[in-house]
Amino acid sequence: MVNYILMRLLRMIPQVLIISVLAFIIIQLPPGDFLTERLNRLRASGYTVDEAEVQRLTKMYGLDKPMHLQYLKWITNIVTKGDFGYSFVFSKPVNEIIGSRMGMTFFIAFLAFVVCWSFAIPVGILVAVKQYSVVDYFFTFLGFIGLAVPGFLLALVLMYVSYSWFGLKVGGLFSQEFQTAPWSWARFVDFLKHIWLPVIILAIGGTANLIRTLRATMLDELRKQYVTVARAKGLSEFKVLMLYPVRIAINPIVSTFGWLLVWFFSGGTVVEIVLNLDTAGPVLWRALMNQDMYTAGAYIVIIGTLTALGSLISDLMLAALDPRIRFGGLEVS
């Protein structure tokens, strides 16, 4: 097992490097660069730009060098110093920007993940056992709504309902008076009043998808002969479900851990912008809009690393749940 984990971690290194190269190239594909866009805006507003100042800024940001040299300098600083560069948009180190936003982003993603799995797994089992019942139709209908309604639209609706019906202003993570206040019980309560909305919105889409997936796999397993044999042996219905079909049907759910975790982390960017959250999503949006290659590149590298780690965790969880899976090549015996 240890050798397998080490092998997978070593395999992640070239994967993350390839992701960083592609991210760096794609971010710079649009014509111009950050400095050009900034100078154009200044000139459009009537501001006279000194050519010496342009040269100074070009050299300071390293824009006078070819793209491959810019990338080599950037990735070398990341590997050797853990330095993701300097943000053009925010005029501060990228590490400082991401560090101030990443903790809250991880926390919201973790809560959404817990809510998603805690609700999706029991409901998925229930609707499979109660196929074509009122319960099945009800949750299937809700699942279709959860998959069809965009997260940002749901955010706007819930914000309106919260304010109109309950008088709660749920935009942001804190009320105005607690934005810069130190942590206290009052600030924590205020945080709880705001955090539930982004967590629910992020969890809804993933929950609906997992319920549909688990229902389909459970129905397939429940029709197999080994379930009939287990019932014939006199086992209770609960034991029959938990010991056999659930253990197999849940495998596709566990295998989605990698992409689901990343989706919670990065897929809510528009929702975060709508809700005015101090998380990493709005930072990525501003960086991409302004061709801030170091900030956007750092964010994408982090997402790529999370994807690789999530895939590894999924494989380890599958091996722990299913005795047919073996480490090494994860071959099915």
The least confident of 43-47, 235-239, 294-298 is 43-47
pLDDT of residue 32: 65
User: 217 pLDDT exceeds 80?
Assistant: yes
pLDDT of residue 42: 66
For residues 185-205, average pLDDT: 83
Q: How far is CA 265 from CA 187, 220, 299, 328, in A?
A: 24, 32, 11, 29
pLDDT of residue 230: 82
pLDDT of residue 330: 46
For residues 150-165, average pLDDT: 80
| pLDDT, the chain, mean | 80
pLDDT bin (cut points 50, 70, 90) of residue 138 is very high
Q: What is the pLDDT of residues 6-34, one digit of tens each?
A: 887 888 888 888 988 888 888 777 766 66
Residue with the larger pLDDT of the pair 198 and 260: 198
pLDDT of residue 134: 92
pLDDT bin (cut points 50, 70, 90) of residue 333 is very low
Q: Which residue in 211, 234, 37 sits closest to 139, CA to CA?
A: 211
* Cα–Cα distance measured from residue 307 to residue 285, given in angstroms and rounded to the nearest whole number: 20
User: 325 pLDDT exceeds 70?
Assistant: no
Residue with the larger pLDDT of the pair 81 and 257: 81
Residue with the larger pLDDT of the pair 329 and 238: 238
For residues 322-327, average pLDDT: 65
Say which residues have a Cβ less than 8 Å from residue 331's Cβ, sequence separation at least 6. 325
- Buried-state track 199-225, b at ≥16 Cβ within 10 A, e below 16: bbbbbbbbbbbbbbbbbebbeebbeee
Say which residues have a Cβ less than 8 Å from residue 297's Cβ, sequence separation at least 6. 20, 23, 24, 27, 74, 84, 85
The least confident of 99-113, 130-144, 171-185 is 171-185
Q: What is the pLDDT of residues 56-76, one digit of tens each?
A: 767 766 777 778 888 888 888
CB 173 within 8 Å of CB 194: yes
Q: What sections of 130-256 are H helices per DSSP? A: 134-148, 151-166, 185-222, 225-232, 237-243, 245-249, 251-255
CB 202 within 8 Å of CB 279: no
Domains belonging to the chain, first-starting first, are 99-290 (1.10.3720.10)
Residue 257, classed as helix, strand or coil, is: helix
pLDDT bin (cut points 50, 70, 90) of residue 327 is low
pLDDT of residue 265: 65
